[in-house]
C-alpha cells in the first residue's frame, strides 16, 4: 500500500510501472495470433452457416486461401460467439476484406488499450530516467526568474487604487450654499 507514496509524503495517482507491465503482458496474451487449424475450423463452420448452396470444392478452396491470411488475427476472435455473430452479419460467404474487417473489430478494443498502456509505460520510464536539476541549473533558473522580475518591474505589489473623491458631500459647504440660495 505504501509503494505509491513517494518520499515527499504526497500520494502518487499514477499506477506503478510494474502494474502497467502486468496489464500490458495480459493484453499481449489476449492478442496472441490464432493457429492455422483454429482458423480453418472456424472458416469451415462459417461456411456451413452462410455458404448457402456453394459447392464443397469452392468452400475448400476459399478456406485454403483465406486461412493463411487470417493467422495474424488473435485467437480470441475465433470463438463460437463470433462465429454466430458473423453468421448473423453475412448472408453469403464474405469477401476477404469483409471478413478481415469483422475479425479486426473483435480485438480492436484490446489493441487500442495495449497501445495506450505501452505509451503510458514509455512516458513513465522517461519520467523515471529524468534526473533532478543540478545546483548549477537551479542557480541559472533562479537568475532567469530574477531577471524576468526586474524587467517586469520587480516584485513590488501595486498600491491599492485610490477611492474617488465624491463630487457632492452631504451637509458640506456646497449644500449649505445651495439651500441659502433657495431661501433668498
Q: Judge whether 97 lies within some domain.
A: yes
Cα torsion angle, 82, 88, 89, 90, sign = positive
Domain that holds residue 48: 35-107
Q: Judge whether 1 lies within some domain.
A: no
Distance CA 94, CA 90 (A): 6
Tell me the pTM: 0.56
Share of the chain above pLDDT 90, in %: 26
Number of domains in the chain: 1
> Which one is predicted more confidently, 162 or 96?
96
Q: Judge whether 141 lies within some domain.
A: no
Q: Judge whether 165 lies within some domain.
A: no
Grid coordinates standing for 164? 474617488
Share of the chain above pLDDT 70, in %: 80
Q: Judge whether 62 lies within some domain.
A: yes
Q: Judge whether 157 lies within some domain.
A: no
Q: Judge whether 123 lies within some domain.
A: no
List b or e across 142-166, with b for residues whose CB sees 16 or more CB atoms inside 10 angstroms: eeeeeeeeeeeeeeeeeeeeeeeee
**70-94, pLDDT tens digit by residue?**
988 998 899 999 999 999 999 888 9
Amino acid at each position: 500500500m505504501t509503494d505509491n507514496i513517494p518520499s515527499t509524503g504526497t500520494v502518487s495517482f499514477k499506477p506503478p510501472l510494474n502494474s502497467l507491465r502486468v496489464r500490458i503482458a495480459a493484453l499481449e496474451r489476449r492478442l496472441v495470433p490464432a493457429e492455422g487449424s483454429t482458423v480453418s475450423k472456424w472458416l469451415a463452420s462459417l461456411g456451413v452457416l452462410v455458404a448457402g448452396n456453394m459447392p464443397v470444392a469452392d468452400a475448400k478452396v476459399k478456406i485454403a486461401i483465406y486461412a493463411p491470411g487470417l493467422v495474424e488475427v488473435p485467437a480470441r476472435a475465433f470463438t463460437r460467439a463470433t462465429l454466430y455473430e458473423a453468421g448473423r452479419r453475412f448472408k453469403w460467404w464474405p469477401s476477404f476484406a469483409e471478413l478481415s474487417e469483422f475479425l479486426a473489430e473483435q480485438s480492436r478494443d484490446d489493441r487500442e488499450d495495449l497501445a495506450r498502456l505501452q505509451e503510458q509505460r514509455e512516458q513513465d520510464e522517461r519520467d523515471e530516467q529524468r534526473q533532478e536539476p543540478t545546483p548549477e541549473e537551479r542557480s541559472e533558473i533562479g537568475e532567469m526568474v530574477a531577471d524576468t522580475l526586474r524587467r517586469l518591474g520587480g516584485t513590488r505589489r501595486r498600491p491599492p487604487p485610490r477611492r474617488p473623491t465624491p463630487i457632492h458631500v452631504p451637509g458640506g459647504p456646497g449644500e449649505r450654499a445651495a439651500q441659502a440660495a433657495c431661501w433668498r
